[in-house]
Structure 1
Amino acid sequence: MFGAGVIVLLLLLAGLAPGAGAQPLEELIQLLDVPDVFVQYDAMERIGAMGPAAASAVPALVPFLDHPHPALRANALWALGMIGPAAVDAAPGMAARLTDGEPVVQHMAVWALTQAGAEAWRHAAMDDALPVLEAMLSAGDVQLRNVALGAVSEIGPRAHPLVPRLRMMVQSSGAASVDPQAAHYAVYALAAVGEAAVSALAEALGSSDVVTRLLAAEALGRIGPAAAEAAPALAAALADPRPEVHWAAFDALVAVGPAAVPALADLVQDTSQRDDARHLGLLALGEMGAAAVQAAPVLIRLLGEEAWWRPALQALGSMGAAAGPFLMEAMTDPDPFIAWTSAFLLREAGEAAVSAGGERSAGYLFSALAHDDADIRQVAVWGLGVAAAAGAASAEAAVPALIGALGDEARAVRLEAQMALWRQGPAVVPL
């Protein structure tokens, strides 16, 4: 025969806990003082069924957490759990039941603390909680596992020793013999653990179960920059055939930020990858803007490819002034389209893009003055004028070059040179 506490737990997990009568809460609290186990048990059930409205009964329930009868300890925990976060003051007593000699009381303590919320779990010592949770996660009972998974979600990073067990649950998500919901709840739990679970979540992106993949990508996005380790797996997930998954991976990569840029740069230049995945990678780099500037050299190379120059151009354009040094260098590229497009982007990025490059980058502008394309020469003249005025290039070197541009065959270049010299002010007088 099951003990009374076992019956309470089974009824709870099955959603069949008794409902409350119309008896006022004050009377039920008084019944807890009646020295009769059955009367007290019934009063607890009725109090618990009232839910948060029974918050004033918490002080009267707490003493029963130490009652000699396990059924009353379990039922007191059930009632406190039903009251929910309003029972947080009872958390120390509930946490003490994690080491109860009766497993059913331990399990009910896990459930009650979880119902009371993350604040309640802060009163629990992990040395007490982890063995109970490990046993529940390993149990054959689906409901017990789900209660433990809910607990991990409330505990958060302190539950990191359970990551190997949670990883095993996720790995089995595609097996026909496994409840898929358990794997899904395990992903939620891993997300709550946070950075310590990143490796397991990255692995989950390869699951045969689409919901598991989706939840893993979303979880990594919530973890954000701390999920940098998962960037290669997220980049690979951009090729996932399910739109909801590859867009979740896209959002996660953007949330990870600069640490994801190397993985995205590798993806977008990998010709063995699917085109749609490469496009998403370029979109992600563009979404990051200046934070993705380390990928600028890769994007500049893609400007020379017919199928990729447009999305690469958009991504570079989103980087603004930060891309300036790379664009000035690319103005000397032997591919005329790359050189011209880089000049266009530099002018669009404005004066800050020129100043960001410093004297080394200004050297590329001197080289671009000799380009065959008048548009590129015009941007080079403009850039040198900006750089010299801002101190990013030597005026002694820039002004003679600008004076030389006054004789350029292209009228637009000559006019640009006049404006560039005008902005130098007194610096041109000795010359």
Structure 2
Amino acid sequence: MRLQLDTHFPASAMRYLLLFALMLGLAGGCSKKKPPEPTDTGAETETPAELTPAEKLAKDRAYWFKGLASKDLKVKQEAADELVVWVATDPDTVNGLLDLLRDKATAGAGKAMPTKVNSSRELAASILNRSEKGQAALKEKGLPILREGLNDPDAAIREHTLYTIGTLGSLANPLAPDVLKLCVNPDPNIHRAAFDALRAIGGSDPVAFSAMLTNTRRDIVRLAAEQLSGFSKMPAEAVPNLIVGLKDKTATVRTSSAAALALVGPKAAPALDALIKAINESYVKEPDPTVAYEPGADIAYWNALTAIGEPAVVPTAGLLTHSNPWVRGLAAQTLGEIGEPSKAVAGKLKDALKDSFGNVAIEAACALCRIGEGKEDAIDLVKRAMDAPNAIAQTAIESIPRMGDAGKALIPVALGKLSSENPFARYAAVGVVGSLEPVEAAKYAAELGKLAADTGAGAPDSTPELQRRAAREIRQRVATVLTRLGPAAAPAADSLVKAIPDETDSGIRDQYIEVLLGIGVGAKPAFPLLLSIAGDKSTSPERRAHLFEVLAVIAPDSKELSVVLLKAAGETGSPIRFLALNTLAKLDPIPPEALAKLIEMATTDRATNARIAAMRALATAGARAKPVRADVEKIANGSIPEFALTAKVSLAAIDGDVANAAGDVRAGLTDKNASVRMAAAEALLLVGPVAADVPALQKLLGERSDGTKEAAAKCLGRIGPAAKEAVPQLVRLLDDKEGTVRIAAATALGDIGPGAKEAVEKLRQVRGNGKRTERSDPIAGPAAGVALDKILGRVKK
């Protein structure tokens, strides 16, 4: 993401810059962008004396520093981006930026914005944080300077220093103890900024946060409770403070304290009385029987009891007689999760089998199965509950996984409910299919397809509204399960084709389309329907692109598809035209009119990127584009180097081996012409990048062209683990101004895999966690999430 600049430099900073220009120098030059030359007014002027290299360097440096003080955000942005480059080679630029960390100018108390750079110190820190040398300088000299800011007498300076520290992420972790002290500062602007900073830099003391639950300021207590959720471990020393939290009048503080107790485990036993009391006070005595229980943050109480284990058995069993059936059911479920120690209260669980509320009896049955007591009666009860004509059937079916091994015998019975007259049973049965291994789940694809048009009918005393809701929930779950099956969902294709035209919920309709796309070649019955959707301009470009791709797989010889693609290729100004070109090249055979269109665009289109895209499509077509080889050869022998290079790749592909163009492509990576370098980076994706290309691609990551950076990042991702050396540059690209570049960088880091672990913290920032104050990236966030799964080994093979 690009820095969002909103910084004003004081007069003192400008005086510093003037001195900076006169006093700082460096022997030798450096390859940096030249400042604009003064405009020639035509008047006679005295020829200035020739500047020495050191003087010229100081003058250029001062120019860019002066740009940081500009009120013009574009000028300021250009200066910030340029100084990132200077940091890598010019120590005096580093020193100048470090000096700006001491600047006392701010936007004012309470005016720090999470989405902008709010002070000169934050701006300087952001520039330094975008390069390895800058980060090294921050660690060695910058953090001590920022520590001074945390102790400044001016509250606004302390606040803005905290925001600056937060932008540095884990790099600023050594400042965590200093920041922690400000979490209890009486100034709300300061302690809020301190909590935000600690969330970003990590490594805080959980016991110290738990102690803040005893603070007299309500907002500090609330913020401390929120912070507790960020810890994966909690020392037993925190238990007394967490007991205080359980007694708090605010529900979120109580549940956060309970969640923290779960992290303590058995050593949290001293909190049992407070936990039981919190449960008794958090649930109404007599709930509305017409309102279904929806678990929320209150589950933290029960998780804490489960984590405490054996000492919690008797207190939890005492809740089996609570007046609220929700509490009774959760108590039975918790005893089952505690397991073996709950045998001590097996008698009370057996009594609960007779509870007048079905959910309580079913949870008691599950618990008995798990502890190995009274299994036969428990299994019989759940089996009979599946036949109930109401929501009890759903509860029974969904309880099967909680029965352990004893529940396996009931799975076939539950699957039989796919054709039940009870919509609650049908809904739960679809969920059971989703829990099966893919090979087993695929056996039920056809039955799931029939439920794609479910009307929700069958429940006793159902109203039209409840029926509509049941229908929507069933169809949505069907779509979710079929999506997971991928190609194995093919038996459902015919039913989906019939259901889609009548589906009134656009979200479910889109899901059904995605199911068909995931089926791929097996979705041939859906070809006419999908083709009509692909040709509709109101369909999103992303959806149309996916449709084009799948349709070309289903019917690569379709003349109807060719017609739709040719029309899409003519949609000037739309990104879909390039995707259509690429799909045209995948048809087999490629119709003559399609080849003619590709040559027409490659030779006459006004847009350079369109011409390049057309030639790349011809390269993808390979030997199938032989009828137009002579036209491609003319371009290859032409005078426009970037077109000629791409055409040479196309020729090599047409002749049967795209690798024959590898020499020209790799030479182009270091060409003096920026357009050629971009064309070469894009062509390398066709030729096939290898580990030896990494150094050249690393240099291209520093280009100004978005297309070059994006293509280079994609190449590095294609290389995979062998591109590990490029990880620092790719991490910096996660702050690029262009969304496609950020996506390519995140994707490449994921493809590099565990070797990109140093990118984890930054990727987490880009992905975000949905918190209002964080600086997540809505464009590259999803790609960052996928990358994190790959790097941390969370992707299923």
Q: Give the TM-score, by structure 2 length.
A: 0.31
Q: What is the aligned partner in structure 2 of residue 236 from structure 1?
A: 244
Contact 1:217 1:249 survives alignment (8 Å):
yes
In the alignment, is residue 330 of structure 1 matched against residue 335 of structure 2? no
1:137 aligns with 2:150: yes
The amino acid that maps onto 1:153 is G
Q: CA deviation at 1:299?
A: 0.3
In the alignment, residue 13 of structure 2 is paired with which amino acid? Answer: G
Aligned-pair CA distance for 1:261: 5.6
CA shift, 1:313, in A, is 2.6
Provide the rounded CA distance (Å) in 1 between the counterparts of 2:95 and 2:11.
12
1:284 aligned residue: 300
1:191 corresponds in structure 2 to 199
Q: 1:380-391 to 2 correspondence within 5 Å?
A: none
For the pair 1:170 / 2:170, whether they are aligned, the reply is no
**Distance 1:205-1:118 versus aligned 2 partners, 3 A rule:** farther
Q: Aligned partners of 2:269 and 2:127: how far apart in 1?
A: 42
2:340 is paired with a residue whose SS is helix
Partners in 1 of 2:258 and 2:201 — Cα distance?
Answer: 22
Structure-2 residue corresponding to 1:66:
92
2:649 match: none
* Paired letter, 2:300: A
Deviation at 1:201, TM superposition (A): 1.7
With over 3 angstroms needed to count, the CA separation of the structure-2 counterparts of 1:109 and 1:132, relative to structure 1, is: same
Name the structure 2 match of 1:262: 269
Instruction: Please give the residue correspondences for 1:26-425 in structure 2 after superposition, counting only pairs within 5 Å.
Output: 28=35, 35=59, 42-46=66-70, 49-50=74-75, 52=77, 55=81, 58-59=84-85, 66=92, 74=96, 77=97, 97=98, 103-104=102-103, 111-114=123-126, 122-124=135-137, 126-156=139-169, 159=172, 162-173=175-186, 179-225=187-233, 230=238, 232-246=240-254, 248-249=256-257, 256=263, 258=265, 262=269, 265-269=272-276, 275-276=280-281, 283-286=299-302, 291=307, 293-294=309-310, 295-303=312-320, 306=322, 310=325, 312-319=327-334, 321-332=336-347, 340-341=351-352, 346-349=364-367, 351-354=369-372
Q: How many residues align?
A: 308
Q: Secondary structure at the match of 1:208?
A: coil
Deviation at 1:224, TM superposition (A): 3.5
The equivalent residue for 2:433 is none
Offset, 1:217: 1.3
**CA-CA distance at 1:139 after TM superposition:** 0.4
Counterparts of 2:153 and 2:220, CA distance in 1: 21
1:314 deviation in Å?
2.7
Say whether the 8 Å CA contact 1:152–1:189 is kept in structure 2.
Answer: yes
Q: Distance in 2 between matches of 1:140 and 1:302?
A: 54
In percent, how many aligned pairs have the same letter?
17
* Paired residue type of 1:315: L
The alpha-carbon distance between structure 1 residues 320 and 6, as it changes in their structure 2 partners (threshold 3 A), is farther
Check 1:64–1:293 CA distance in 2 against 1; reply closer, same or farther (3 A cut): same
**Worse-superposed segment, 35-44 or 310-319:** 35-44
2:205 counterpart letter in structure 1: A
Indicate conservation of the 8 Å contact 2:103/2:120, yes or no.
yes
Against the structure 1 CA distance between its residues 41 and 154, is the aligned structure 2 distance closer, same or farther, given a 3 Å change threshold?
A: closer
Q: Which is further off, 25-34 or 210-219?
A: 25-34
How many angstroms does 1:202 deviate by? 1.6
**Counterpart Cα distance in 1 of 2:216 and 2:160:** 25
Alpha-carbon distance in structure 2 between the residues aligned to 1:37 and 1:325: 72
Q: Aligned equivalents of 2:221 and 2:130: distance in 1?
A: 26
Provide the rounded CA distance (Å) in 1 between the counterparts of 2:264 and 2:335. Answer: 17
Shift of 1:138: 0.7
2:480 corresponding residue in structure 1: none
1:350: how far off? 5.7
Give the RMSD, CA atoms, in angstroms.
5.1
Q: Deviations over 1:314-333 (max 9, x none)?
A: 3333337434434432135x
Contact map agreement 1:146 1:182 (CA 8 A) in 2: yes
What's the secondary structure of 2:147's corresponding residue?
helix
Aligned partners of 1:268, 1:277: CA distance in 2, in Å? 10
Q: Check whether the contact 1:292–1:319 (CA below 8 A) recurs between aligned residues.
A: no
Q: Structure 2 unaligned runs (5+)? A: 1-9, 18-31, 39-55, 105-118, 285-295, 355-360, 382-403, 405-797
Is the partner of 2:301 in helix, strand or coil? Answer: helix
Q: How many Å separate the matches in 2 of 1:50 and 1:36?
A: 15
Post-superposition Cα deviations, 1:171-228, rounded to whole Å, max 9, x if no partner, equal: 332xxxxx32101111223334434322222222223332222221111102233577
> Does the 8 Å contact 2:170/2:200 carry over to 1?
yes
Residues 324/155 of structure 1: CA separation in 2 closer, same or farther (3 Å cut): same
Could you tell me whether the CA contact under 8 Å between 2:143 and 2:175 is conserved in 1? yes
Q: Which has the higher helix share?
A: 1
Partners of 1:285 and 1:315 within 8 A in 2: no
How far does residue 170 in structure 1 lie from its aligned partner after superposition?
A: 2.6
SS at match of 2:232: helix
CA distance in 2, matches of 1:133, 1:329: 58
- Paired with 1:38 and 1:323, the residues of 2 have a C-alpha distance of 68
Aligned 8 A contact 1:153 1:192 in 2: yes
Deviation per CA, 1:8-60: give whole Å up to 9, x if none.
89xxxxxxxxxxxxxxx977455786949986654454487545556356435
1:62-110: CA deviation from partner (whole Å, max 9, x where unpaired): 777616xxxx964xx3xxxxxxxxxxxxxxxxxxx3xx699549x9566
Change (3 A) 1:380 1:182: closer
Worse overlay, 133-142 or 282-291: 282-291
Change (3 A) 1:381 1:326: farther
Aligned partner letter, 1:286: W
Q: How much has 1:145 moved relative to structure 2?
A: 1.3
Residues 250 and 124 from structure 1, CA distance in 2 versus in 1: closer, same or farther, beyond 3 angstroms? farther
Indicate conservation of the 8 Å contact 1:222/1:252, yes or no: no
Q: Which residue of 1 aligns with 2:755?
A: none
CA displacement 1:135-187 (0-9 Å, x = unmatched): 111101233212321243244566555444334323332xxxxx321011112
| Per-residue deviation, 1:241 | 2.5
Match of 2:600 in 1: none
| Separation in structure 2 between the aligned mates of residue 118 and residue 299 of structure 1, nearest angstrom | 53
Distance 1:230 1:7 in 2: 52
SS at match of 1:205: helix
In the TM superposition, residue 281 of structure 1 has moved relative to its aligned partner by 9.8
